[in-house]
Structure 1
Amino acid sequence: MNEIDMSVWTGRCDTGEGELATRWHQEVKPASANPEVTQTPGIALVGFACDEGVRRNQGRVGAVEAPGVLRKALANLAWHQTAPVYDAGDVSCLDADLDAAQQRLGQRVAALIAAGHAPLVLGGGHETAFGTYLGLAAAHPDKVIGIANLDAHFDLREAIEASSGTPFKQIADLCEAQGRPFRYLCWGVAAPSNTQALYARAEALQVQWRPDSALTESQLPQRLAELDAFVASVDLVYLTIDLDVLPAGEMPAVSAPAAFGVPLAVIETVATRLAGSGKLAAADLVEFNPRFDQDSHGAKSAARLAWSIARHWRR
């Protein structure tokens, strides 16, 4: 495990308010790299400092810087956790070898699950998803894993090399090779941003998808009923949130800002529903790009989602 930099966990201290006035920077602890050291099971933050997949996908690079920025955004938020939170450090991709970096992320995720923790991965581009899934699948070889992707894109592209546009096609191929069912739900799809080839592949793979226009607050009751049915049909759930699913006004700091998007309130409701289901086994937040943030608006939105998932995560 890489050395964990706990210096980012700093912020305001309301010492006069007593022990109930703590913030994340006062509570987050480093995850142990020693498998013989037992820690109380909790949520483990893992950074995937990588945007090689975004570069290959002809996007705007910068997501490599996201894990550290998101930790800083989380640091000063009020602590409402009942389970501990650990910082498990970063997995980096410094040599453009994306495949090896995804394997390392998978190994980190699997090790954290073996230690009893729930991994919350801070990407990185959406190439993060294949690494997260590798770890989850290795830790639960006999479980049916349902993928819930909140995203403007299917990310099912067929390509010569892996990128931020290929992770779920890679997962589908892996499932076929391993004889596992591929259960994929993708909500927030923006039609202008997905070719007919991607829709055809989604249909062939029996993807359960909904467009961004079907994820309004008035439609939430119907969507949540569908979500509950999806959760009931699988053993475990992996939640991945591509932050470009949010409207550009709420999330400008991504490679491909959304012209329409799904409101933060809706995304948070769906995410917390999954977190409270008792089946959420791993989650990640991807595509945040600090280089295009405006007055930390994007960082605050992403941190709010991470905070809400952690707060509602029931295991």
Structure 2
Amino acid sequence: MRNLDISMIGVPIDLGQSRRGVDMGPSAMRYAGAVERLRALGHQVMDQGNIVISAVHEKTSSEAGLKNLEEVTAATVKLAEAVSNIVADNHFPLVLGGDHSIAIGTLAGLADHYKNLGVIWYDAHADMNTRETSPSGNIHGMPLAVSMGLGHERLVNVHRDGVKIDPRNVVIIGARALDPGERKLIKEQGVKVFTMHEIDRYGMSAVIQQTLEYFSTRQVDGVHLSLDLDGLDPLYTPGVGTPVPGGITYRESHLAMELLEDAKVITSAEFVEVNPVLDEYNKTADVAVALMGSLFGEKLL
């Protein structure tokens, strides 16, 4: 097992979607023992606290059909700077969300340091909507599209102008709720997707192996894991804002994390969409921290 210098940073924001409470996700994961669990594995963990999010006492008026555009943009700019500084210090960035809009900032910060970054999007959703295709105007359904250079210019140009990731370097795992516009973009942009059909048919081991082989052919210079807890079936993670039945199991998810750790390919990670308001006795945060354990080298024996 490799011993890492991990810099953990929380982003307590719930403005990228419509259900309040996910801003407490970073605190819930810390309460579930994230720092202690990783330190017990021999890693050096520096908890840098939380990005400061401006309070919004009333829902702001939407701009161009996007909810809380100003606030989400400001938060992701701060996160991008923090992530870029973490990588510059040769530390492993571990980001705790917050809703999935934060990935706009994470990927923007990583783009300072990687020329051909691979991205694993572990999620029930593709998060590839734009303002033209989004049924809700929620920015947490747009971060992958934004990072590919598609969407509102203020989001696309967070931290640095333009495209942050090559769509052909993205692998979505666990998809089972795709909007029509997303299906179209996936095909147009050449994004590789393993839906629940492939996971059920071939098994998680084969899916991860094919993902690793795919990244090898793409010659990526790093791999970011963006894990939305709604990628798992809501039986295991009830505390998420957009649960979708028929998801990845608890054990399949641990296997995925274990195989990724065995391959030593993950260079940054974020865990998002833990909503304690909707949870049962912090169950979803406990699952998130358990998966962190497997990703960072925890073994059964």
Quick check: 1:99 aligned with 2:73?
Answer: yes
Aligned to 1:69: 28
User: TM (normalized to structure 1)?
Assistant: 0.78
Q: Does structure 1 residue 151 correspond to structure 2 residue 123?
A: yes
Instruction: Give the Cα separation in 2 of the matches to 1:222 and 1:110.
Output: 33
Report the counterpart of residue 258 of structure 1 in structure 2: 244
Higher CA-based Rg: 1
For 1:176-255, what aligned pairs fall within 5 Å after superposition? 177-178=162-163, 181-182=166-167, 183-190=169-176, 193-216=177-200, 219-232=203-216, 233=218, 234-255=220-241
Partners of 1:297 and 1:158 lie apart in 2 by: 32
How far apart in 2 are the matches of 1:41 and 1:272? 16
User: What is the match of residue 294 of structure 1?
Assistant: 280
Report how far residue 157 of structure 1 moved.
0.4
Listed one character per residue, the Cα deviations across residues 197-256 of structure 1 (whole Å, up to 9, x for unaligned) are 211111111110011232249613321221121231211111001111111110000001
8 Å CA contact 1:253, 1:288 repeated in 2 = yes
Match for 1:239: what amino acid?
Answer: L
Change (3 A) 1:163 1:293: same
Contact 1:50 1:92 in 2 (8 A): no
Identity %: 25
Residue in structure 1 matching 2:145, options 169, 172, 176? 169
3-state SS in 2 of match to 1:311: coil
What is the CA deviation profile of residues 59-94 of structure 1, one whole-angstrom value per residue up to 9, with x for unaligned ones? x22110110111010156485423211101111322
Whether 2:92 is the aligned partner of 1:118: answer: yes
d(CA) in 1 for partners of 2:5 and 2:228?
24
Larger mean Cα displacement after TM superposition, 285-294 or 76-85: 76-85
Deviation at 1:279, TM superposition (A): 3.0
Structure 2 unpaired stretches of 5+: 56-67, 150-155
In the aligned structure 2, how far is the partner of 1:126 from the partner of 1:178?
18
Gaps of 5+ in 1: 1-39
Q: Residue 85 of structure 1 corresponds to which residue in structure 2?
A: 45
Does the 8 Å contact 2:111/2:164 carry over to 1? no
- Whole-angstrom CA distance in 1 between matches of 2:226 and 2:292: 11
Aligned counterpart, 1:305:
291
Q: 2:74, 2:221 → 1: CA distance?
A: 28
The alpha-carbon distance between structure 1 residues 179 and 215, as it changes in their structure 2 partners (threshold 3 A), is closer
Matched pairs, number: 265
Whole-angstrom distance in 2 between the partners of 1:224 and 1:178: 26
Structure ranking higher on relative contact order (CA contacts 8 Å, 6+ apart): 2
Cα distance in 2 between the residues matched to 1:90 and 1:155 = 24
Give the aligned CA root-mean-square deviation in angstroms.
2.4
Moved over 6 A (4+): none
SS in 2 for 1:138: coil
CA shift for structure 1 position 162: 6.9
Distance 2:146 2:225 in 1: 17
